Structure 1
Amino acid sequence: MIRLLYPALRAGAFLTRLPAVPAAFAGPPVPLGRDAPAFPVVGLLVAAPSALLLYGVLQTGLSPLAASALAVLLLVALTGALHEDGLGDTADGLFGHADRSRALAIMKDSRVGTYGALALVGALLLRIALLADIAAGSALAAALALPAAGAASRGAMALLWAALPSADPGGLADRVGRPSPRAGRLAVLIGILLALVSTLPVFGTGAVLLPPFLAAVAWLLLSGVLRRRLGGQTGDTLGACQQVTELAWLLGLALLTA
């Protein structure tokens, strides 16, 4: 039975700062892309401690804004800012009007530029603000929103990885084994199902329509830009996809509580 958890344990070792479980890596190496359907499970589980922190802190009477900031910062720490790093690098590469080769070179640079800094600050502030809006109406709704958005956005990330060719052959996302189209579709389906199961009891039937719609629009816009500017995806753009679709999902949930 424990072997059924191995894909999530392997994916979690890559996507988070949580300790690796050696038993999950026993035997022949497994390409990370094959474990892509487990990405949403990792997204849900890594957000659980932040959800519990958010709910607990709100019970003390601390403001929704402060509680949301603490929860988001804990989540960033648990993931090692992996996806935030990708968002910053992608923003630096895409918003400088550089050609494809120059954009890819910029994205590989470890230094953070103006566009990257603005994207990181903007994304963090928006995530905190949206979560605080939800928390102002219901502590339970906010606590459930975090893992739901985490699961759905990691499914969207896996789908992007499978749907677009590598724009950087030999890069990290290429070396670890791109998922098959079937694995990408399965990942996004699992992500949506986990998100809906988490939020339907509190947000009602609106959770079936608005958050998935906004996340799909964000995904399509980002994938279109990546095809046009880079000719595909890289590891950094996968992180950017996770961040953008998570924000879109949270926006949908926040609108439902407005």
Structure 2
Amino acid sequence: MIAAYGAMRPDLALLRTLTFLSRLPPVSFAFRDGPHPLGADAPLFPLAGALIALPPALLLPLGTALGLAPLVAATLCVLSLVALTGALHEDGLGDTADGLFGHRATADALRIMKDSRVGTYGALALTGSLVLRIALLADLAAVRPGAAALALVAASAASRGWMAWLWSRLATADPGGLADSVGRPSAAAGRAGLVLGLAIAAALGLAVADVPGLVLPALLSALPVLWLARVLRRRLGGQTGDTLGAAQQLCEMALLLGFALVV
């Protein structure tokens, strides 16, 4: 199913997705056929998210094994992840907070979101995201460093699955913007991304909690995305690249919270 939506070459789709979602250098042969609609590769977002999160996640068990406090290891982990992604989703979270929480008209909200400057709402959202993720990972690492690493990889996969779903679910609110220009995924591609993301998260989550314990993280992962989808329909009439990044951040925080509550 995934191959069908990844231009029949899931390996190339994964390489293109890794290039878009991280600071990893592009692999030229993955783009040998010219420009490719990123939306067609959306089913592979979760796998790319898991691979991107894996090196930073390993800092949690490694750091604690070397004698670092869980808070220090978690801080290094989150900062490494931000550096590896180029703060792509954090930028979206900050811009979305500035645009939506100022209670401006749609046109003004979209204009604010395109402004490179960070306002009060954006600064608060970014601070909250960094602090909460570090605190939750430190809390998990204090009990089971390996489980903390798996929880981060699971959250990274599931959050990008929800991101693909939201992208396919809502029309663009910014014609010609980034999310619109790279090709919106089909409904089937969005569903495939979500299914893969949840499957990866469930498989990894079984090493963190038992089956009943996975229910809470799963529910918490859905709530912020469904809430955001409703807000975006009402306020903007659809999604933008920034709002997709915000969805990823909200979902990642929610999943980590869920795992912290059940471990």
Whether TM-score is above 0.5 comes out as: yes
Alignment of 1:1-258 (within 5 A): 3-257=9-263
Quote the RMSD (CA, aligned, Å): 1.4
Query: Structure 2 CA distance, aligned partners of 1:90 and 1:177?
Result: 21
Q: Give 1:60 shift.
A: 1.5
CA shift in 2, pair 1:45/1:207, >3 Å:
farther
TM-score (structure 1 length as normaliser): 0.97
| Per-residue deviation, residues 57-93 of structure 1 (Å, max 9, x unmatched) | 0111211111100000000000000000000000000
| Per-residue deviation, residues 141-196 of structure 1 (Å, max 9, x unmatched) | 00111110000000011111000000001111001000000000110100010111
Query: Structure 1 CA distance, aligned partners of 2:132 and 2:259?
Result: 13
Q: Give 1:208 shift.
A: 3.0
Q: Give 1:205 shift.
A: 1.1
Query: Structure 1 CA distance, aligned partners of 2:11 and 2:210?
Result: 30
TM-score (structure 2 length as normaliser): 0.95
% identity of equivalent residues = 62
Q: Give 1:29 shift.
A: 2.7
Q: Give 1:136 shift.
A: 1.2
Query: Structure 2 CA distance, aligned partners of 1:248 and 1:215?
Result: 5
Q: Does structure 1 retain, via aligned residues, the 8 Å contact 2:151–2:208? A: no
Query: Structure 1 CA distance, aligned partners of 2:213 and 2:189?
Result: 25
Deviates more, 1:80-89 or 1:49-58: 49-58
User: What is the aligned length?
Assistant: 257
* Equivalent AA in structure 2 for residue 184 of structure 1: G
Q: Give 1:203 shift.
A: 1.4
Query: Structure 1 CA distance, aligned partners of 2:73 and 2:102?
Result: 35
Q: Does structure 2 retain, via aligned residues, the 8 Å contact 1:206–1:256? A: no
Q: Does structure 1 retain, via aligned residues, the 8 Å contact 2:60–2:146? A: no
* Equivalent AA in structure 1 for residue 173 of structure 2: A
Query: Structure 1 CA distance, aligned partners of 2:214 and 2:185?
Result: 27
Q: Give 1:28 shift.
A: 4.0
Query: Structure 2 CA distance, aligned partners of 1:136 and 1:208?
Result: 20
Give unpaired runs (5+ residues) of structure 1: none
CA shift in 2, pair 1:89/1:244, >3 Å:
same
Q: Give 1:198 shift.
A: 1.1
| Per-residue deviation, residues 34-78 of structure 1 (Å, max 9, x unmatched) | 000010011000001011111100111211111100000000000
Query: Structure 2 CA distance, aligned partners of 1:229 and 1:103?
Result: 9
Q: Which secondary structure state, in structure 1, belongs to the residue aligned with residue 207 of structure 2?
A: helix
